[in-house]
Amino acid sequence: MTSVLLIEDDPLVRRSLELALGRYGYTMITAATGENGLSRFTEEAPDIVVLDLMLPGIDGFEVCRRLRLDSQAPIIMLTARTDDLDVVGGLEAGADDYVVKPVQPAVLDARIRAVLRRAVSDLDGVRSHGSLRIDTESLTVTLGGAPVPMTPTELRLLLTLSRSPGRVFSRQQLLEEVWGHGYLGDSRLVDNGIMRLRAKIEDDPAHPEYVQTVRGFGYRFGPV
Which strand (E) or helix (H) includes residue 27? strand 27-31
Contacting range for its own copies; rule: CB under 8 A; set: 21-29, 58-66, 86-94, 199-207? 21-29
Q: Which does 24 bind (CB under 5 to 8 A by kind): DNA, its own copies, none?
A: its own copies
Sign of CA dihedral 139, 143, 145, 150: negative
How far apart are CB 129 and its own copies at their closest, in Å? Answer: 14
Shortest distance (Å) from residue 155 CB to DNA: 8
- CA 11 to CA 194: how far, in whole Å? 49
Binds 185: which of DNA, its own copies, none (CB < 5-8 Å by kind) = DNA
Q: To the nearest whole angstrom, how small is the minimum distance from the Cβ of residue 105 to its own copies? A: 6
Could you tell which of its own copies, DNA, none binds residue 16, using a CB distance below 5 to 8 A set by kind? Answer: its own copies
- The C-alpha atoms of residue 90 and residue 88 are separated, in whole angstroms, by 5
Which listed option, its own copies, DNA, none, makes contact with residue 12 (CB within 5 to 8 Å by class)? its own copies
Q: Is 215 helix (H, G, I), strand (E, B) or coil?
A: coil
Cβ-based nearer residue to its own copies, 61 or 221: 221
Count of beta carbons in the 10 Å neighbourhood of residue 70:
9
H-helix or E-strand containing 76?
A: strand 75-79
Q: How far apart are CA 137 and CA 176, in angstroms?
A: 22
Does residue 195 belong to the site contacting its own copies (CB under 8 A)? Answer: no
Per CB under 8 A, the segment of 7-15, 88-96, 178-186, 199-207 that binds its own copies is 7-15
Task: Residue 82: name its binding partner from its own copies, DNA, none (Cβ under 5 to 8 Å by kind).
Answer: none
Sign of CA pseudo-dihedral 172, 96, 153, 180: positive
Choose, by CB under 8 A, the member of 135, 176, 202, 209 that binds its own copies. Answer: 135
Q: Considering Cα of 63, then 68, then 72, then 74, what sign does the dihedral take?
A: positive
Those residues whose C-beta lies under 8 Å from the C-beta of residue 86, and which sit 6 or more positions away, are 53, 77, 79, 98
Told to check if 206 binds its own copies by CB under 8 A, we report no
Interface positions with its own copies (CB under 8 A): 1-3, 12-13, 15-17, 19-20, 23-25, 27, 42-47, 70-73, 102-107, 110-111, 114, 116, 119-120, 123-124, 135, 137-140, 147, 151-153, 155, 166-168, 214-217, 220, 224
